[in-house]
């Protein structure tokens, strides 16, 4: 059923702003899973694993609905596979289902929500603060 889940965008910085892949079923645990990837493996490895190696995005992130996650490009049990698609800040704003952006910066994870026809910064969490926040 369309519109049942809200989507988020896992992104990395670009010269124009950011670009990334969709995570369907964006849930409160998405933030925790992204921070775990970035602090355990480093933000560059998180970008490589979550964005570059899975260009069609995610139905659920590793550690969420199923421990290994379900990507939209390599998961054989999914009936619907999405083509590889990177969205930037403009194209993500045109998709009304994407309500949040998780921007993996080198030192912190930045959060943006849709607001007033643009992406509004909602906060940032430095990776070195994460162990204290768990």
Q: How many CA atoms lie within 13 A of 126 on its CB side?
A: 3
User: What is the residue extent of each domain of the chain?
Assistant: 7-133
Residue 41 CA to residue 55 CA, distance in Å, equals 19
SS3 string, the chain, reads CCCCCCEEEEEEEECCEEEEEEECCCCCHHHHHHHHHHHHHCHHHHHHHHHHCCCCCEEECCCCCCCCCEECCCCCCCCCCCCCCCEEHHHHHHCCCEEEEEEECCCEEEEEEEECCEEEEEEEEEHHHHHHHC
Q: pLDDT of 3-61, one tens digit each?
A: 445 789 999 999 999 999 998 877 777 888 888 888 888 899 999 989 999 888 888 78
Across residues 88-97, what is the average pLDDT?
90
Start-to-end CA span in the chain (Å): 34
pLDDT at 9: 93
Across residues 71-97, what is the average pLDDT?
76
pLDDT at 5: 57
pTM of the predicted model as reported, rounded to 2 decimal places: 0.85
Q: pLDDT of 98-120, one tens digit each?
A: 999 999 999 999 999 998 889 99
């Amino acid at each position: 059923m369309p519109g049942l889940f809200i989507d988020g965008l896992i992104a990395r910085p670009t010269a124009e702003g950011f670009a990334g892949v969709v995570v369907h079923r964006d849930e409160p645990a998405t933030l925790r899973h992204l921070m775990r990837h970035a602090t355990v493996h480093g933000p560059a490895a998180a970008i490589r694993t979550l964005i570059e190696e899975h260009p069609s995005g995610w139905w659920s992130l590793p550690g969420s609905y199923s421990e290994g996650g379900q990507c939209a490009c390599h998961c054989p049990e999914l009936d619907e596979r999405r083509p590889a698609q990177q969205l930037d800040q403009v194209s993500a704003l045109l998709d009304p289902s994407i309500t949040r952006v998780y921007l993996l910066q080198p030192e912190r994870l930045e959060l943006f929500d849709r607001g007033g026809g643009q992406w509004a910064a909602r906060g940032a969490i430095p990776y070195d603060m994460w162990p204290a926040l768990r």
